């Protein structure tokens, strides 16, 4: 039933607890949003879940198995992928070649990787940019390529770290559509995002972090009306604009 279970995760850097006892569960097939102010510990949670850094304490269960401390390539091979807040394309390669490289891990040969790369390119609507050098793309297209590269590894669970940061309003709408589309094809998603319109449009549950701790969990409507969440994150301006 749960694709991901995060149990009392703690990450300390020296005296600072960047994450301090965070627990939440992601149901198979759902989109869960992880929100909170800058510095709340959202990216650090992703780093521990995806194996970029081991937790100081706590456990990560993926598909019912304890995967705490496993390496990113190992988790990726078993169906977990992530996108980075600061995108990481292979800047000198074309859009197509970036996707092909990402497809190699799940392909038996180059021909198969090429076919898969083409499918991902079409699915993410990057085909018009096939021959463009990745390093020269706009931020909107870079963010889309970042998602496409993660999809190329055929994940069951996709962790997305602020995929809409820096996008124009029409690009945000396209990103919402892409996320829905990916989810509709059976991929469970954890989404870190500041754009509340997008968060409420796609997520079925929300976890709110502040100072490394969960201050609220629940369905979007309830979370958005929670006094602590309004005070810590959304602000009075948000309340006024409702």
Q: Which two tokens stand for residue 8?
A: 């009392």
Q: Choose between 38 and 109: whose C-beta lies nearer to ligand ADP.
A: 38
Q: Which helix (H) or strand (E) holds 146?
A: helix 139-151
**Whether 206 contacts 199, CB under 8 Å:** yes
Question: Which of helix, strand or coil describes residue 147?
Answer: helix
According to the binding rule CB under 5 A, does residue 20 interact with Mg ion? no
Task: Find the binder of ligand ADP among 3, 6, 18, 206 (CB under 6 A).
Answer: 18
Task: Find the binder of Mg ion among 24, 31, 40, 43 (CB under 5 A).
Answer: 43
According to the binding rule CB under 6 A, does residue 238 interact with ligand ADP? no
Phi first, then psi: give them for residue 220, nearest 5 degrees. -50, -50
**Whether 75 contacts 156, CB under 8 Å:** no
Q: Choose between 13 and 238: whose C-beta lies nearer to ligand ADP.
A: 13
Residue 179 beta carbon to ligand ADP: minimum distance, rounded to whole angstroms: 19
Give Cβ neighbours of residue 69 (< 8 Å, ≥ 6 apart). Answer: 51, 54, 55
According to the binding rule CB under 6 A, does residue 13 interact with ligand ADP? yes
Q: Interface residues with Mg ion (CB under 5 A)? A: 42-43, 85
Q: Interface residues with ligand ADP (CB under 6 A)? A: 13, 16, 18, 36, 38-44
């Amino acid at each position: 039933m749960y694709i991901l279970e995060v149990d009392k995760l703690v990450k300390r850097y020296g005296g600072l607890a960047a994450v301090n006892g965070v627990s939440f569960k992601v149901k198979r097939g759902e989109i869960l949003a992880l929100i909170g102010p800058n510095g709340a510990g959202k990216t650090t949670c992703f780093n521990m879940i995806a194996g970029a850094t081991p937790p100081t304490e706590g456990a990560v269960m993926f598909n019912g198995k304890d995967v705490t401390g496993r390496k990113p390539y190992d988790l990726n091979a078993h169906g977990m992928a992530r996108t980075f807040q600061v995108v990481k394309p292979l800047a000198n390669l074309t859009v197509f070649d970036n996707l092909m490289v990402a497809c190699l891990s799940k392909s038996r040969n180059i021909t198969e990787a090429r076919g898969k790369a083409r499918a991902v390119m079409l699915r993410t609507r990057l085909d018009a940019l096939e021959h463009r050098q990745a390093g020269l793309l706009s931020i909107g297209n870079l963010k889309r390529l970042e998602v496409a590269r993660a999809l190329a590894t055929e994940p069951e669970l996709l962790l997305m770290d602020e995929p809409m940061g820096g996008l124009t309003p029409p690009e945000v709408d396209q990103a919402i559509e892409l996320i829905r589309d990916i989810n509709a094809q059976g991929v469970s998603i954890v989404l870190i995002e500041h754009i509340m319109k997008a968060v409420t449009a796609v997520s079925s549950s929300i976890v709110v972090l502040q100072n490394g701790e969960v201050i609220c969990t629940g369905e979007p409507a309830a979370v958005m009306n929670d006094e602590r969440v309004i005070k810590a994150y959304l602000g009075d301006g948000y309340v006024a604009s409702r």
